[in-house]
């Protein structure tokens, strides 16, 4: 249910238990953030808050890594980073475990959430929530990114007049993607792409260094990597899939629907902390980035993150306004009008893919009740 969009004063009193406000801003918040209280999560949240991510550690997850204390350690065996849950330097009385996704996770995030009762929250995009509603319903309580960082990229030097993906598609034979993403079907239906130019065998390599094509990627990653190729710079152009109408919230922290009642006391305190932690990260990402980098090194896989990769990722989240308030001043809310609009777009596409999609509304998969409406992003 959507909270009021009325902007509160910079020194309002919050309604969140165990958290009080103080005048004077912190990070990027316009209003006074909650003052950290020692042990605020003890006794109301699980002794270990477990967050299942959707990929390897990266800048997109910076807000939750911001909440790890100095004792954080990472294990290649478990694919997890564990430490004291620390909010703005104050011990919250529980442990925080952040689990890597990708190859460390053998199932989709939602499947893992239903298989492992220890998982408190998982990253569940709106499109996934719609897809899995019938068999594994989830409820998103915090939107970490207002805009999906996913893009389609092409070589700007080879296609200097292409300003959008629709322009580039007229000049390119192949658009490389992973599998059969629903957004590609949507773009084909909208006439942005043609079905015969879609190649579903993209392997994640930086193929623009050798091929004249386009491929999916992330604005927080590939443009920087292309600009720093040892074999020579490739200046890329791109279009965010969000800007072409596929406006799913991609980085939501969600819980199993059947856990809502039990976790409500915890969420009332935890969710505002998540809001402020994301803003703290984007205002000063270095400490969390160091934890992310240490985790990547410990996991010792093909995935790498340099200091430059992480600094660039955080900068793109900020500079491209991928982190933001949306149409309301409340940071991290999931606007029901936008969710319902996306459900209307996505449902026929997902059904075309052979999925059984019921008739659902935003209120079935999002809940904004736990957000602190006084936490907002100055930008």
| Tens of pLDDT, residue by residue, the chain (379 residues) | 323 222 222 222 233 333 333 333 334 443 334 579 999 999 999 999 999 999 999 999 999 999 999 999 999 999 999 999 999 999 999 999 999 998 899 899 999 999 999 999 999 999 999 999 999 999 999 999 999 999 999 999 999 999 999 999 999 999 999 999 999 999 999 999 999 999 999 998 999 999 999 999 999 999 999 999 999 999 999 999 999 999 999 999 999 999 999 999 999 999 999 999 999 999 999 999 999 999 999 999 999 999 999 999 999 999 999 999 999 999 999 999 999 999 999 999 999 999 999 999 999 999 999 999 999 998 7
Residue pair 85/69 in contact by the 8 Å Cβ criterion: yes
Angle 330-30-98 (CA atoms, 0-180°, nearest 5)? 60
Residue ranges of domains in the chain: 20-147+248-365, 150-244
Q: Tell me if 20-147+248-365 shares its fold with 150-244.
A: yes
pLDDT score recorded for residue 294 = 98
In angstroms, the CA 296 to CA 221 distance is: 15
Tell me the CA distances in angstroms from 1 to 97, 128, 239, 316, 337, one per residue in order.
29, 20, 32, 30, 11
Angle 227-146-279 (CA atoms, 0-180°, nearest 5)? 85
29: helix, strand or coil: strand
Residue with tokens 């997902």, as numbered in its chain: 350
263: helix, strand or coil: helix
- Token reading at 99: 């689990």
- Token reading at 32: 């006074």
Tell me which CATH code domain 150-244 carries: 3.40.190
Question: Within 10 A of 180 (CB to CB), how many other CB atoms are there?
Answer: 10
pLDDT score recorded for residue 13 = 27
The secondary structure of residue 227, as a DSSP letter, is H
The sign one gets for the Cα dihedral 284, 286, 287, 289 is positive
Q: May I ask the CATH class of domain 20-147+248-365?
A: alpha beta
In angstroms, the CA 213 to CA 313 distance is: 24
Angle 226-228-233 (CA atoms, 0-180°, nearest 5)? 65
- Token reading at 282: 């984007």
Residue pair 149/322 in contact by the 8 Å Cβ criterion: yes
In angstroms, the CA 92 to CA 82 distance is: 14
Strands (E), the chain: 20-21, 34-35, 48-52, 73-75, 80-87, 90-99, 121-123, 138-143, 150-155, 175-176, 198-199, 214-218, 236-240, 252-256
- Token reading at 149: 């960082």
In angstroms, the CA 168 to CA 158 distance is: 10
Region at 20 (left for phi over 0; alpha for psi -120 to 50; beta for the rest) = beta
pLDDT score recorded for residue 35 = 79
Region at 14 (left for phi over 0; alpha for psi -120 to 50; beta for the rest) = beta
The residue among 61, 98, 68, 100 whose CA lies nearest residue 83 is: 68
DSSP H or E stretch at residue 347? helix 336-352
pLDDT score recorded for residue 34 = 59
DSSP H or E stretch at residue 299? helix 286-299
pLDDT score recorded for residue 3 = 30
Angle 187-189-190 (CA atoms, 0-180°, nearest 5)? 60
pLDDT score recorded for residue 103 = 87
């Amino acid at each position: 249910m959507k909270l009021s969009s009325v902007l509160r004063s910079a020194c309002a009193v919050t309604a969140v238990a165990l958290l009080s406000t103080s005048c004077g801003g912190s990070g990027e918040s316009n209003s006074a953030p909650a003052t950290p209280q020692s042990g605020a999560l003890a006794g109301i949240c699980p002794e270990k808050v477990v967050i299942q991510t959707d990929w390897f550690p990266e800048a997109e997850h910076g807000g939750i890594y911001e909440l790890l204390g100095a004792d954080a350690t990472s294990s290649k065996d478990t694919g997890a980073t564990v430490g004291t849950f620390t909010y703005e330097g104050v011990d919250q009385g529980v442990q925080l475990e952040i689990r890597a996704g990708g190859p460390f996770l053998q199932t989709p995030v939602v499947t893992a959430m239903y298989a492992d009762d220890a998982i408190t929250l998982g990253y569940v995009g709106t499109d996934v929530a719609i897809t899995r509603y019938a068999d594994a319903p989830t409820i998103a309580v915090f939107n970490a990114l207002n805009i999906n960082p996913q893009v389609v990229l092409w070589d700007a030097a080879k296609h200097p007049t292409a300003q959008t993906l629709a322009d580039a598609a007229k000049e390119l034979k192949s658009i490389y993607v992973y599998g059969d993403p629903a957004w590609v079907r949507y773009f084909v239906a909208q006439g942005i792409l043609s079905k015969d130019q879609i190649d579903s065998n993209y392997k994640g390599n930086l193929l623009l260094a050798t091929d004249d094509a386009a491929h999916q990627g992330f604005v927080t990653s590939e443009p920087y990597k292309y600009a720093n190729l040892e074999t020579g710079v490739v200046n890329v152009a791109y279009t965010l899939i969000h800007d072409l109408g596929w406006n799913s919230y991609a980085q939501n922290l969600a819980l199993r629907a059947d856990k809502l009642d039990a976790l409500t006391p915890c969420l009332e305190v935890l969710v505002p902390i998540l809001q402020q932690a994301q803003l703290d990260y984007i205002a000063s990402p270095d400490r969390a980035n160091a934890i992310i980098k240490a985790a990547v090194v410990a996991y010792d896989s093909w995935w790498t993150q340099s200091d430059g990769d992480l600094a660039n990722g955080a900068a793109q989240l900020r500079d491209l306004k991928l982190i933001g308030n949306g149409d309301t001043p409340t940071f991290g809310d999931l606007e029901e009008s936008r969710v319902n609009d996306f459900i209307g777009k996505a449902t026929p596409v997902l059904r075309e893919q052979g999925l059984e999609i019921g008739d659902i509304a935003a209120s079935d998969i999002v809940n904004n009740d736990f957000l602190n409406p006084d936490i907002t992003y100055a930008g």
